[in-house]
């Protein structure tokens, strides 16, 4: 055979899924919204006319005012709400990203090993997950905060440490059903060792349901972070998050409704978009749709 023969490029299942996702308008819109919000939160604070932590005593709790550069008004101590919301989005997205990455890494490896190896090892690993599951989450977070003080990194860890449990269960179930597929037997016959089989065959094949679960985990994590911040367990002043802003806005909602409306609308837009994207991804990966 000559090497000059032109190769026919194959289309992988991922490429197929991506094509289907691109045809889903709601998902594409959602992705665009997320991209715009994320980009704004990264670039916006530099371009905005006011820093996020400067107190402007001349402009306390004013309504949106373009003339002075307070696009979304100011809060109770005169800080620019627009910049503060962008900072809040930053924190929310960072928490979401970090917690999801932690849960993804631990969950996939743990679940794939438990599911594929099976037997006593699986039994022991999953009972450990059950034990962690049964610990009340809020209690866990509060103790962590009390012992180590308020700290964003700690919050990432706490969220990740809880989220991976569900991930591990989902992955384990997938791995167990993949284990009995013929191509795994074929890999054993081809001389592949257990770690190779898990890495090359099990994990790539269970990523479909995992991706779907991730897109649904992100809004969940954002919500939990907002909830913790709302309770005063989240980020520390002057830094802020969407949950803190909403909590502060709720106090002033009769006199300065913009302080509640804008952060809440931003959070809602983010959550909606992630949920739509998650739906789109699930449809795109559903083999029955083919």
Partner 1 sequence: MSETILKVEDLKVYFPVRAGGGWGAKTLPLKAVDGVSFSLHRGETLGIVGESGCGKSTLGRAILRLIDPTAGQVVWLGEDLASLSNTAMRRKRRQMQIIFQDPLASLDPRLTIGEIIAEPLRELEPSLSRAERRVRVEDAMARVGLLPQMINRYPHEFSGGQCQRIGIARAIVVRPALIICDEPVSALDVSVQAQVVNLLMDLQRDLGLSLLFISHDLSVVRHICHRVLVLYLGCVMELASSRALFDRPRHPYTQALISAVPIPDPEVTHRPILLEGDLPSPLAPPSGCVFRTRCRYATDKCAQTRPALEDADAGGHQVSCHHWKEIAS
Smaller CB separation from partner 1, 54 or 177: 177
How far, in Å, CA of 176 to CA of 178, rounded? Answer: 5
Residue 4 within binding range of partner 1, rule CB under 8 A:
no
Residues touching partner 1, count (CB under 8 A):
27
**Closest residue by Cα to residue 178 from 116, 243, 235, 261:** 116
Q: Minimum Å distance from CB 178 to partner 1?
A: 10
Smaller CB separation from partner 1, 149 or 287: 287
With 0-12 CB in 10 A as exposed, 13-18 as middle and 19+ as buried, what is 288?
exposed
Q: Minimum Å distance from CB 209 to partner 1?
A: 14
Smaller CB separation from partner 1, 11 or 25: 11
Site for partner 1 in 181-210 (CB under 8 A): 181-183, 185-193, 196, 200-201, 204-205
Q: Minimum Å distance from CB 207 to partner 1?
A: 8
Residue 13 within binding range of partner 1, rule CB under 8 A:
yes
Kindly write down the DSSP assignment for every residue of 217-243, as one continuous string.
HHHHHHHHHHHHHHTT-S--TTS--HH
Contacts of 240 (CB under 8 A, 6+ apart): 52, 84, 87, 88, 91
Region from 1-9, 53-61, 107-115, 164-172 binding partner 1, contact rule CB under 8 A: 1-9
Residue 119 within binding range of partner 1, rule CB under 8 A:
no
Q: How many CB atoms lie within 10 A of CB 5?
A: 7
Alpha helices by DSSP H, listed for the chain, are 13-23, 25-47, 81-117, 119-134, 137-148, 152-179, 182-189, 194-197, 203-230, 242-251, 258-285
Residue 123 within binding range of partner 1, rule CB under 8 A:
no
Region from 6-14, 67-75, 119-127, 153-161 binding partner 1, contact rule CB under 8 A: 6-14
How far, in Å, CA of 90 to CA of 74, rounded? Answer: 19
Smaller CB separation from partner 1, 83 or 206: 206
Site for partner 1 in 155-184 (CB under 8 A): 181-183
C-beta separation of 170 from 210 below 8 A? yes
State whether residue 112 is helix, strand or coil: helix
Residue 5 within binding range of partner 1, rule CB under 8 A:
yes
Residue 79 within binding range of partner 1, rule CB under 8 A:
no
DSSP lists the bridge partners of residue 80 as: 74
User: Could you list the residues that contact partner 1 (CB under 8 A)?
Assistant: 1, 5-13, 181-183, 185-193, 196, 200-201, 204-205
């Amino acid at each position: 055979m000559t090497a000059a023969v032109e190769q026919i490029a194959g289309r992988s299942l991922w490429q197929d899924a991506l094509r289907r996702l691109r045809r889903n308008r709601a998902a594409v819109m959602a992705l665009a919204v997320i991209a715009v919000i994320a980009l704004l939160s990264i670039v916006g604070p530099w371009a905005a006319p006011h820093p996020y932590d400067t107190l402007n005593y001349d402009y306390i709790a004013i309504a949106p005012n373009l003339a002075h550069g307070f696009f979304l008004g100011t809060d109770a101590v005169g800080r620019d709400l627009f910049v503060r919301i962008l900072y809040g989005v930053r924190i929310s997205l960072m928490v979401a990203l970090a917690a999801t990455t932690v849960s993804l890494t631990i969950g996939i490896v743990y679940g794939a090993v438990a599911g594929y190896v099976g037997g006593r090892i699986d039994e022991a690993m999953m009972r450990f997950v059950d034990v962690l599951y049964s610990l009340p989450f809020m209690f866990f977070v509060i103790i962590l905060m009390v012992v180590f003080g308020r700290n964003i990194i700690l919050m990432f860890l706490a969220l990740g440490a809880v989220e991976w449990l569900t991930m591990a269960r989902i992955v384990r179930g997938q791995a167990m059903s993949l284990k009995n597929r013929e191509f795994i037997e074929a890999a054993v016959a081809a001389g592949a060792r257990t770690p190779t089989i898990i890495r090359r065959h099990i994990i790539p094949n269970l990523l479909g349901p995992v991706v779907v679960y991730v897109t649904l985990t992100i809004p969940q994590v954002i919500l939990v972070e907002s909830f913790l911040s709302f309770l005063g367990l989240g980020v520390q002043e002057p830094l802020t998050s969407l949950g803190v802003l909403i909590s502060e806005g709720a106090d002033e909602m009769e006199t300065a409704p913009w302080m509640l409306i804008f952060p809440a609308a931003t959070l809602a837009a983010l959550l909606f978009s992630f949920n739509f994207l998650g739906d789109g991804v699930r449809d795109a990966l559903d083999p029955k749709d083919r």
